[in-house]
Amino acid sequence: MVKVDVDIKVKFLHGFSHKTRIQILECIKDSEKTVSQIVDEIDGNQSNISQHLACLKGCGLIVGRQQGKYMYYSLRNQQIRELLSMFDDVLAEVQTHVASCDNHIV
């Protein structure tokens, strides 16, 4: 098993720690999209979405592909897609506990 520095792991997990970033990841889970498409789909504002895209890209969760004047964003790889699905599977089992947890600030 690969040993990963805890601080690096925390930085990686930070990419998943904001509602907008999760919405973006879910939005591009099945197909690449432009910023405008993401903004429309999650009903956000372009400046805010762009900041979160930069965070996701910096954390290595997504990649961007330039085509003409548009940048298309997608998940970095199949493992990220599987990780998002695993989050859903685990959450299905513990969502009642998570919802009632007073130790987390939303």
Is 49 buried (19+), middle (13-18) or exposed (0-12) by CB count in 10 A? buried
Does residue 77 or residue 101 have the better pLDDT? 77
**Domain formed by 6-99, architecture:** Orthogonal Bundle (1.10)
The chain-wide mean pLDDT, for the chain, equals 93
Contacts of 11 (CB under 8 A, 6+ apart): 59
Angle between helix axes 46-58 and 19-27 (nearest 10 degrees) is: 80
Q: Is the pLDDT of residue 106 over 60?
A: no
Sign, CA torsion 30/31/35/40: negative
Cα–Cα distance, 52 to 54 (Å, whole number): 5
Domain boundaries, the chain: 6-99
Residue, of 63 and 101, whose pLDDT is higher: 63
